[in-house]
Structure 1
Amino acid sequence: MDLQVRHLAAFAALCEEGTYTGAAARLHLTQPSLTRTVQDLERILDTTLVHRGARRLELTDDGREFHARARRILTDLTELEADMRGRAEVRLGFAWLLPAEWSGRVRARWEQLGGHLAIHRTDDPVADLDRGRLDVALVRTTRNGTGTITWQRIGTERRVLAVAADSPVAGQRGLRWADLGAHPLVVNPRSGTTTPDSWPDPHPGREIITCGNFDEWLELVSAGRGIGAVPAIAVHRAPHPGVVYRELPDIPDSPLYLGWRRTPPPSRSTRRFLETALRAE
């Protein structure tokens, strides 16, 4: 007997459900039928994939390797079937404040072609893209990217200063971005647009407060822990009673990028989506 897709699906279900009972129910099989399929798989591969007699499911080293590779194959097969049927879903990830005009235009064009766009908000779209949880990511910084990701700059966004409402800076006249190089700064290293390097000559002793996502960043600014900068769409999309947004004449714009994996190569649907999205920049 040769290795078949049903063997991969059975073993993947067993690994993901953790029990033969749960895997059999998921696959609409009887438990003895699932057990025989896994045993057939081990005979075909001439190796042991599951430790027998353990109180809970335990994989051998070969079992762990086979599961990882089988999962990739099953994912590719699912995407291939969807591509061929014209029902492919493309997963677009972003960290915060997806540009409404751009995303609306791209989604409308993609759906006119028969595609479906699934939008995912995630704290770290670069990492999720690298792990294969996303097909495409829209980001404002590529500093956390790996060598397996291709980045295409699609535009820039005007930024505004964000400062606590009760800070003297909130109402200071004649304020310029260059004047703020010594102020405490709230930084989101994963997806934020502002770092100490955003000033040409930042103060060497400057206090840096880090956070993990946009919501934390906003609350830290509101609490007066530091200043920050954010795309101007935040003025209307992310108002906060404790934060004042100010336009400054010399604040630098921030870039926007689309990213996708080179390895494995993007599916046909992802390539078609990228063609649509890049024409809409």
Structure 2
Amino acid sequence: MDVELRHLRAFASVARHHSFSRAAEELLITQPALSRTIAQLEGKLSVRLLDRSSRHVKLTDTGAEFLVHVERVLATLDQALAVVSHRVTLRLGFSWLLPDPWAQQTVSRFEESTGASVDLTRTDDPLQALRQRSVDIALVRGDVDVPRGARIMRLYNEPRIAVCSERCDLARLGHLDWTDVQYWPLVVNTVSGTTGPWSWPVDERPAQIIETANYDEWLETVAANRGIGIVPEVAQRRTQHPALRFVSLINAPPSPVSLIHFPDAQRTLIRRFLDAAAPAAAPE
């Protein structure tokens, strides 16, 4: 008879609400489209399931009997889908310190609404992991070159802060202007850092650059007093290192936080994750 799942869900919704308008709202379709779907079902079955002659929609005797079996089928299907959904995982790649409370709110919202889980994957280069398809979506900080064919969703901007060794003269100054960074040796994470010589015009760049390849190397190089660093303020809340001091950074441009993904990977899950990410609050 070529009866489709959409026919059964439409019929069950109308029967439950005794209303085409309320059922259309629940199913997120227009009322004319719902009416056509019910008409298609009745045509395929060659029976009348709903009595539309009164002000309220009522089930015919055949419709009431049919509804018992439809609800059983839909309940069994939903149980089967629930079992599968708990085994579905979305891999979120990040390089260091997921932003809070955004990450916790987004993951919680996504998992509660989908039944799927988020696998948090720490990697030095989230974009490379995305290219290699070892993660499904990448959280990145700063202005980055988006891989060809990928899509980007900007979330919000994070303020920047300076960090130095407890033995550095900057620790006693208490603040630093963005334009004065050029006079200090700057430690840069070349793989996933948000601040580097590229952050200033050529004539205002720091004269001395110390390169590192990941966040841990960057952290220990700053702690060893090889130079100062500049990071999003989340690092001050989340980094516990006795040799580091954080210093207010004045007039610094904010650092963007973004999600990047390929549109051909895990389409439904990624769309649901982006929906969960958008309303989540940005860090204070």
Same fold (TM over 0.5): yes
Aligned residue pairs, count: 200
1:139 Cα deviation after fit: 0.7
Letter in 1 for 2:85: G
8 A Cα contact 1:83 1:268, kept in partner: no
Partner of residue 98, structure 2: 98
Partner of residue 10, structure 1: none
8 A Cα contact 2:136 2:265, kept in partner: no
1:187 Cα deviation after fit: 1.0
Counterparts in 2 of 1:175 and 1:111: CA distance versus 1, 3 Å: closer
- Considering only CA atoms, is the larger Rg found in Structure 1 or Structure 2? 2
Match runs of 1:1-281 below 5 Å: 85-87=84-86, 88-113=88-113, 114-172=115-173, 175-200=176-201, 202-203=203-204, 206-262=207-263, 264-280=264-280
The separation in 2 between residues aligned to 1:237 and 1:202, in whole angstroms, is 34
1:123 Cα deviation after fit: 0.7
8 A Cα contact 1:130 1:148, kept in partner: no
The separation in 2 between residues aligned to 1:252 and 1:242, in whole angstroms, is 26
Q: What is the CA deviation profile of residues 180-222 of structure 1, one whole-angstrom value per residue up to 9, with x for unaligned ones?
A: 2132211112111101132346546712111111110011111
The separation in 1 between residues aligned to 2:245 and 2:170, in whole angstroms, is 9
8 A Cα contact 2:138 2:261, kept in partner: yes
Q: What is the CA deviation profile of residues 218-245 of structure 1, one whole-angstrom value per residue up to 9, with x for unaligned ones?
A: 1111112121111112112112122111
Partner of residue 56, structure 1: none
1:265 Cα deviation after fit: 4.1
The separation in 2 between residues aligned to 1:129 and 1:173, in whole angstroms, is 39
The separation in 2 between residues aligned to 1:178 and 1:82, in whole angstroms, is 56
Q: What is the CA deviation profile of residues 135-163 of structure 1, one whole-angstrom value per residue up to 9, with x for unaligned ones?
A: 11111035354213211110011111011
The separation in 2 between residues aligned to 1:84 and 1:147, in whole angstroms, is 36
Counterparts in 2 of 1:184 and 1:83: CA distance versus 1, 3 Å: farther
> Which consecutive unaligned segments of at least 5 residues does structure 1 have?
1-80
The separation in 2 between residues aligned to 1:105 and 1:204, in whole angstroms, is 38
Root mean square deviation of aligned Cα:
2.3
Q: What is the CA deviation profile of residues 21-63 of structure 1, one whole-angstrom value per residue up to 9, with x for unaligned ones?
A: xxxxxxxxxxxxxxxxxxxxxxxxxxxxxxxxxxxxxxxxxxx
SS at match of 2:134: coil
| TM-score, with length taken from structure 1 | 0.65
SS at match of 1:100: coil
| TM-score, with length taken from structure 2 | 0.64
Percentage identity across aligned positions? 37
The separation in 1 between residues aligned to 2:132 and 2:81, in whole angstroms, is 21
8 A Cα contact 1:130 1:146, kept in partner: yes
1:85 Cα deviation after fit: 3.2
Counterparts in 2 of 1:237 and 1:205: CA distance versus 1, 3 Å: closer
SS at match of 2:167: coil
8 A Cα contact 2:165 2:171, kept in partner: yes
Between 1:131-140 and 1:183-192, the stretch displaced more is 183-192
Partner of residue 14, structure 1: none
8 A Cα contact 1:196 1:202, kept in partner: no
